[in-house]
Amino acid sequence: MSRYLLNFVTAFFLLGASLFERVPVVRADNPISPGFPYGTEKVRGVSLGGWLILHPWITPSLFNDLNSSVVDEWTFCEFQDTSVARAALENHWDTFYSEEDFANIAKAGLNHIRIPLGYWAFDVQPGEPYIQGQLPYLERVIKWATKYGLKVMLVLYGAPGSQNGFINSGHILSVPEWPFNQTDIDRTLAIIQRLESMFANYPSVVPMIGALNEPAGFIPGVLDTARQYYRDAYTAIRFPFGSDKQSNTVMMIHDTFQPLSNWTDFMSPPDYQGVVMDTHLYHGFTQAELEQTEDEEIEEACAHAANITSLNLWTIVGEWCTAFTDCAPGLNGRGMGARYDGTYPNSTFVGSCDGLTGSAETFSDEYKTFMRRFWEAQTTAYETGIGWVQWLWKTEEGAGEEWSYSKGLQYGWIPWDQTDRLYPNVCG
């Protein structure tokens, strides 16, 4: 607690200093022309989760032989011989995705891929164990995506110091450091500037950059820190050529887990152009959600539409899934149990996880039928905004396949043809 307060006070004094002070004025005669017709055509995408940022539940084989200190990418690099860790990472970056995946993503009628990135692909400082070498693999994947007509959203998931302490930031921490450390924030802005400079001239390849995924807005003060960061990142992403010429790169921000009503009028047109609000909608991480009946799940999914259309900003549901439990082994952290079956600390048994996770081959028809209805309800609701990106395209064979878009296609709970609806009136 005292460390937390200290950080908070430090952040307070540092807030004044910022890399980019002035937001250039958007000129009406020079409007943004994005590389995808956002707002006209719906975004339908999948994330390449667990690829450039490790998740033990997505690729358990990378972790099986490692001791229990290894829980995320940071400790994967910290608690192994560097050359061993590097070889494992290089092999994973090289093989987890192949060109065939991109052919299938396109064949499934999807138009976007979302790639989570960690800052360490660009900048590693002394004391940080992270291993570099991701960029050639990223470049290869972007080429494959482009070959199959897929747009790439590059999203910064891991900031120096971690913006949320979650595993998807690369580093599990009880108190994230990024929100309270201006050096970390400035390093992050420099990375966003670099990312934009790599793709500013290729908006049809990378039409959108996510400035920072899931800052911990539930911690006092962090919402305001994130807002200031997003204003600064706007200058980096939208004005890479100087203050009198806009780029065509759309910038994505995240709601920091706060109700969208906290973002009313934030970075909205006409003063700001090309800003997308990202919200993440999961249904399996709280006791109340886990206890819902199937019909209640569907009802809640459909009800999201009202919030998604409440902002004067393009709104996307950039993470969601058809899984409605937290049963996938390690989903809540390596070695942690599930709330659903009461094996997670302080949780209350709702049901057995048997048959709800693992290989899709073992899923009952009833389970798959519900996931199909849930998928149709969610995509219907989320397309009231500019569209959606589902988490995620694939897991390692046999791991948490209820999360896998590609397994959904194979086993029929997701249609190959996006318009092939079994429940066209699912949301009334």
Give 126 or 270: the residue with its C-beta nearer to ligand NAG.
Answer: 126
In the complex, least distance from residue 190 CB atom to ligand NAG, rounded to whole angstroms: 11
Q: Which structure tokens are listed for 229?
A: 């960061």
Judged by phi (left if over 0) then psi (alpha if -120 to 50, else beta), residue 12 lies in: alpha
Residues that bind ligand NAG (CB under 6 A): 10, 67-69, 79, 125, 160-161, 181, 183-184, 187, 217, 223, 258-259, 261-262, 300, 303-304, 307, 345-346
What DSSP state is assigned to residue 42?
P
Phi-psi region of 3 (alpha: psi -120 to 50; beta: other; left: phi over 0): alpha
Q: Which is nearer to ligand NAG, 221 or 269 (CB)?
A: 221
Closest residue by beta carbon to ligand NAG: 259
> What does DSSP say about strands 112-118 and 43-47: parallel, antiparallel, or unpaired?
parallel
Strand-pair partners of 314: 276
Amino acid at 309: T
Please answer whether residues 153 and 390 qualify as being in contact, where contact means their C-beta atoms are separated by less than 8 angstroms.
no
Catalytic residue among 214, 297, 376, 401: 214
Provide the token pair at 177: 């450091």
Residue the block writes with tokens 């009800």: 303
What three-state secondary structure class fits 277? strand
Give the Cα separation of 24 and 110 in Å (integer).
Answer: 35
Whether residue 214 lies in the annotated active site: yes
Closest by CA position to 331, among listed 399, 405, 378, 279: 399
Q: How far apart are CA 265 and CA 277, in angstroms?
A: 11
Q: What single DSSP character describes residue 202?
A: -
Angle separating helix axes 99-107 and 135-147, nearest 10 degrees:
40
Q: Which is nearer to ligand NAG, 30 or 261 (CB)?
A: 261
Q: Which is nearer to ligand NAG, 296 or 420 (CB)?
A: 296
In the bound state with ligand NAG, the residue whose beta carbon lies nearer, of 213 and 315, is: 315
Structure tokens at 169: 């930031």
Q: Which of 289, 319, 401, 402 is catalytic?
A: 319
CB of 71 to ligand NAG, least distance (A): 10
| Count of residues making up the chain | 428
Scan for tokens 């998604």, then name that residue.
308
For 156, the enclosing helix (H) or strand (E) is strand 151-158
CA distance linking residue 18 with residue 20, whole number of Å:
6
Least spacing, CB of residue 256 vs ligand NAG, in Å: 8
Closest CA to 116 of 353, 392, 365, 375: 392
Give the nearer residue to ligand NAG in terms of CB position, either 203 or 318. Answer: 318
Catalytic residues: 214, 319
